[in-house]
Amino acid sequence: MGSKVTIYEVAKAAGVGIGTVSRVLNNNASVTPETRERVKEVMKQLNFQPHTYAQRLARNQSETISAIIPFFTNYFFVEVLRGVQEGLGRLGYDLTLFGVNDIEQVEPKIVRALQRGRFDGILFFSMRLPDRIVPRLKEASIPMVLVDAFYPKFDSISVANTDGAYDATTHLISIGHRKVGMVNALQRSAPAAERLQGYRRALESNGINYSEELVKTGVSARQDGFNRDAGYEAMVDFIRMGKEMPHAFFVSSDIQAIGAMAALSENGFRVPEDVSIVGFDDIELARHFKLTTMRQPMYQMGQMAVERLAARMSDSVLEVVHTTFIPELIVRDTTRPFS
């Protein structure tokens, strides 16, 4: 294979964590002779060249990863972090969380993380990376992977939000609904903005005029509007439209859809007999509510982010890779043909 083989690939082939491979490379006495020989044999088989990684070991790696993440209570992040923890557990690494409450805190949190310096890599979640902080990150030479976000100079794992929203809205149109509303989150959120684009493109592709009156956002700003109360509030606004209310909705997250369905039920509407609903995420609650939704591979995104970060930590000159998942339409019981 050559020098591009990473420490992650060695760990996987040997059936050990990346921390164990590190200790073998560093001649740490805590590794059993049997494990040491197995790891060395795998290194030989893969023609692993440890020189670059040995230089990093000499700088005293901490075996800790930092995650800069918003909204710890959001169902999406809970699922992604499960995948991250699983991946880090296999690699023998610990996780430190830096919480961000709003976009203005992103730069100070990154600066704080860099100043502390007791970590080997960064996972950056679901926010816009400020341009002015990029030179500092590059100067620090800290490996970083973006999750549910994008920046050209860093590896990223993301979801095609626009395509997912397009498919969700198109599904409603394909079963006969010509008046489709959208319950969205706040436009300061990149996923919310992208999902609005997909909704709008689906309407226009099917010869349906876009109307701002058919897109509503609840006033609850927690988690950028991706919460149950916001979905409930937006649906109440639609119900106030009376006979002008749509009978089909694309909702920008499952948790908002659950709130929207509660508002419909309290006002005498049945789902799907009176109103069809499509959500986005496929969180565990979506299966409980039998919600038709767009499935994001949240757990797998977390695992893949860790794998990519481990590869980047092993070889800093790897080509930057952007991985984009296409959401999958999961049809359950909250949609039915228009009649």
Give the CATH number of the domain where residue 186 resides. 3.40.50.2300
Which is nearest to 322 in space by CA: 152, 87, 81? 152
State the total domains in the chain. 2
Within a domain: residue 174?
Answer: yes
pLDDT at 51 over 60: no
In a domain, 67, yes or no: no
Give the pLDDT of residue 57: 45
Task: Please check whether residues 171 and 285 belong to one and the same domain.
Answer: yes
Q: What is the mean pLDDT of the chain?
A: 87
The pair of three-digit structure tokens given for residue 287, joined into one six-digit string: 């299966």
CA separation, residue 5 to residues 41, 144, 173, 290 (Å): 14, 19, 48, 44
**Does 78 fall in a domain?**
no
Tell me: do 49 and 167 sit in the same domain.
Answer: no
E strand segments, the chain? 64-70, 94-100, 121-125, 144-147, 155-159, 180-184, 215-217, 248-251, 276-281, 292-295, 322-325, 328-330
- What is the predicted pLDDT for the residue at 55? 46
Domain membership flag for residue 135: no
Q: CA–CA separation, 147 vs 126, rounded Å?
A: 6
**Is 330 inside any structural domain?**
no
pLDDT tens digits for range 7-25: 778 888 999 877 688 778 7
d(CA 37, CA 50): 16
Express each pLDDT in 128-161 by its tens digit. Answer: 888 888 888 888 888 999 998 889 999 999 999 9
Res 72 pLDDT > 70: no
272, 243 in Cβ contact below 8 A?
no
Of 263, 279, 296, which residue is a domain's last?
296
> Does 226 fall in a domain?
yes
| Residues 88/145, Cβ–Cβ less than 8 Å | no
The overall longest dimension of the chain from CA atoms, in Å, is 76
138 is written with which tokens? Answer: 């590059």
The CATH number that applies at residue 37 is 1.10.260.40
- Residues 288, 176, single domain; the answer is yes
Q: What angle do CA 222, 64, 46 make, to 5 degrees?
A: 120
The helix or strand, by DSSP H or E, that contains position 262, with its residue range, turns out to be: helix 254-266
Mark which of 259, 276, 296 sits at the end of a domain: 296
Higher per-residue pLDDT: 105 or 13 = 13
Residue 244 lies in a domain: yes
Name the nearest CA neighbour of 327 among 206, 168, 172: 168
- Assess if residue 176 is contained within a domain: yes
Q: Are residues 168 and 291 in the same domain?
A: yes
Written as six digits, the tokens of 3 are 């020098």
Domain that holds residue 36: 7-58
